[in-house]
């Protein structure tokens, strides 16, 4: 026998419960805040239960013996990581249609077996610096019911 029981949650509660795998009373309605429409549409969507998701960084990386260089060619940005053991690069597509995000990765740094040792060197020479105070400032800044995604 199946029992149905009512669950009443605000829009943020629905998103968080769904992420935990708990039952919810309706499908979460979310959007990344960088894609939020401006004006009256935004107000209407919020009344319908739209929950913004804000991406925040909880750390930054500081690399030793890794030189980072960016080159822009047309609609692409190449980010080169130069190390004592070799160089790899990532290629991003930019100037995307509105609502598509800032950029898309179109080439990843590992393209051949030798690239693994270069990427391994980069990670082994990385210091991870936590941004606890910055995260708390960001969370405090927004007093609405948004959900924070960690990036």
Domain contains 39: yes
Q: Residue 2: inside a domain, yes or no?
A: no
The range of the structural domain enclosing residue 81 comes to 60-129
Q: What is the pLDDT along the chain (151 residues), one digit of tens a residue?
A: 555 555 567 888 899 999 999 988 888 999 888 777 777 888 888 888 889 888 888 999 999 999 999 999 999 999 999 999 999 999 999 887 766 667 889 999 999 999 999 999 999 999 999 999 988 888 888 877 788 887 6
Domain shared by 96 and 125, yes or no = yes
Are residues 101 and 122 both part of a single domain?
yes
For residue 3, is it within any domain?
Answer: no
Q: Is residue 135 part of a domain?
A: yes
- Residue 109 and residue 86: Cα distance in Å, rounded? 12
d(CA 70, CA 14): 41
Domain count, the chain: 2
Looking at the fold, whether 78 and 124 belong to one and the same domain comes out as yes
């Amino acid at each position: 026998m199946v029992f149905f029981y009512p669950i009443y949650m605000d829009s943020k509660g629905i998103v968080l419960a769904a992420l935990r795998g708990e039952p919810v009373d309706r499908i979460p309605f979310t959007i990344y805040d960088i894609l939020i429409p401006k004006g009256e549409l935004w107000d209407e969507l919020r009344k319908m239960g739209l929950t913004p998701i804000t991406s925040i960084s909880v750390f930054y990386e500081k690399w030793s013996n890794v030189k980072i260089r960016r080159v822009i060619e047309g609609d692409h940005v190449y980010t080169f990581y130069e190390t004592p053991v070799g160089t790899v690069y990532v290629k991003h597509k930019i100037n995307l249609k509105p609502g598509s995000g800032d950029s898309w990765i179109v080439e990843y740094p590992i393209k051949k077996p030798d690239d693994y040792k270069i990427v391994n060197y980069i990670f082994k020479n990385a210091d991870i610096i936590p941004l606890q105070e910055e995260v708390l400032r960001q969370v405090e800044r927004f007093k609405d019911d948004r959900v924070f995604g960690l990036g």
